[in-house]
Amino acid sequence: MKIGFIGLGIMGRPMALNLKNGGHDLIVPERASLTAEIRAVSEVVADATAVAAKSDVVILMVPDTPDVERVLFGAGGVAAGLKAGTLVIDMSSISPVATKEYAAKVNALGCDYLDAPVSGGEVGAKAASLTIMVGGPDAAFARAKPLFDLMGKNITHIGSDNGTGQTCKVANQIIVALNIQAVSEALVFASKAGADPAKVRQALMGGFASSRILEVHAERMLNGTFNPGFRIRLHQKDLALALSSAKDLNLSLPNTAVAQQMFSACSAKGGGELDHSALILAIEDLADHSIRKA
């Protein structure tokens, strides 16, 4: 297929390359930030409208809800170039409510729409092992499934209604944030109590407390390597979606709110661009203790 891909950042670039390696043609909009690798394997066109006009499927992987709206419906946007039958897949993590609105507008143009946010970070994007959570019509999902198979391993059709994929992603981000906070608190507690945090992690990896966060992010915490796989400011955006949705549902998410405050504490000290595992820095500040200095 001819696949238009918009949003070639940390996650989008390896995802697009995996589609190319799977035998599909890539069409991308001109950007100064395009890498030589992407330029070498893609057809580069003027803007998102031109991408849509040449594509069978258009995939978006951009940071936030306003970015999706701009790319779809702004000047030079996707909607202006869509022809009937084109499939639009938004793999960004955005508002479930806005997703329903965007899907309805795209449907009115004779096109199908899937919301398919992902989890797995840069590592998963490069390894084509992403978890992909999909909302949208059954037939559209069946059409897109071979593409998802080139980008991920755990692919779930959450529901036939648009927005269900985004709802699942918000739930995922709650779990990830709370696990990062729990691992941070555990390591700071153990270290300040006099135990070697690296050995504590090693012991816990063999027990019921084991998790991907303990495996991957605890190692980042111990080494102090917070170069972003997934930035704090983006996780803040996702938790803001969780908390605003909870308000609409008359639902209390107390621990989510605390995790958001820990991320805010990191951002207040200039850490918004760090990996979300850097939440431990806020816990360390409260304890006046660093597990790395220990």
Active-site residues, by number, are: 169
Residue 52 to residue 56: CA distance in whole angstroms: 8
Residue 126 to residue 74: CA distance in whole angstroms: 30
Residue 142 to residue 229: CA distance in whole angstroms: 30
DSSP structural state of residue 85: T
Residue the block writes with tokens 């803001």? 240
Q: Are strands 2-6 and 87-90 parallel, antiparallel or unpaired?
A: unpaired
Q: Are strands 152-159 and 112-115 parallel, antiparallel or unpaired?
A: unpaired
Residue 195 to residue 38: CA distance in whole angstroms: 47
Q: Break the chain down into helix, strand, coil percent, rounded to 5.
A: 55, 15, 30
